[in-house]
Chain A
Amino acid sequence: MNLESELRDVLRRVDPPPGFAQRVWSRLSVGSAPAESRRYVPRALAAAALISIAVGGWGVHETLRARSELLTAMRIASQKVAHVQQEVNRR
């Protein structure tokens, strides 16, 4: 027995039972997949816009907060430098 040739016979392509394409169609019309996925597009776009606004807003807020902290730090540092300079001048 030639195993390889028997395997080609046993493992040949197999047709599904008759009416397969119609059964696929009936599932397609029930699910109407592309229409279904299209329905979610506006919602997805709206969600993406909200997220980007929120992330953008948060980014602006963070930048302003960092700027304000930097200015405060510089103000404190310059006060300290001025104070040290006064002490040096006094001695």
Chain B
Amino acid sequence: MTAVAARADEDSLSRAQRGDHDAFAAIISDYQSVVFGIAYHFFNDRAVAEEIAQDVFLQLYRNLAAIHSRRHLLYWLRQVTSRKCIDETRRSGPKRVNLDDVDVAVMPNITDPLIARRLQERIAALPGIQRLVLTLRYQEELGPVEIGLLVGMPENTVKSYLHRALTALRKEFE
């Protein structure tokens, strides 16, 4: 990102903090795929993911004053979304993923749709916390330390969840 673009981003954040609706709409547009993506990969359900994502942006609107930079904003969104996913599972119990609903259309770059579907089915069958850690690792390209900070667990626990998830998937695909 150039210095000019970075300054424009910070400007839109401070404009949103002053109550500029267009600036807040721009923030939603910039980060909706991060938030919706985490929730969608966690629940494998577009309706639930939409509800979670809406809740996250409503919470952001109420807490805009506490956000001090775009970097902080991204961290905040990832953290609140991850924790909402965990809380939702604790509140309503683990959701049974309907594997017929697995949506290959969200993966335009995948080479083999059948492999993609099988992989998504296997991910959906993993325990929720392993799914979340895997999503933060591969969707957001985060390391174990950053993931640990987001979900509130030690680095070694994150590594262990990642290892277990990857081992389960490798058994099937390699």
Contact = CB atoms under 8 A, between A and B. Distances in A.
At the interface, is chain A mostly helix, strand, loop or mixed?
helix
Interface size class, chain A: 20 to 34
A11 B138 contact: yes
A88 interface: no
Contacts of A14: 33, 36-37, 40-41, 49, 106
Nearest to A24: B57
Contact of A6 (B50, B54, B116, B134): B116
Contacts of A53: none
B123 interface: yes
Interface residues of B, number: 38
Contacts of A15: 32-33, 36
B32 A21 contact: yes
15 contacts: A1-B174, A3-B166, A3-B173, A6-B173, A9-B107, A10-B107, A11-B123, A11-B138, A13-B33, A14-B41, A16-B33, A16-B53, A17-B50, A20-B36, A37-B62
Contacts of B21: 25
Interface stretch (A26-34, A44-52, A57-65): A26-34
Contacts of B169: 3, 7
Contacts of B49: 14, 16
A46 B41 CA distance: 46
Interface in B103-146: 106-107, 109-110, 115-116, 119-120, 123, 134-135, 138-139
A10 B53 contact: no
A67 to B, nearest CB: 46
B173 A1 contact: yes
Contacts of A39: none
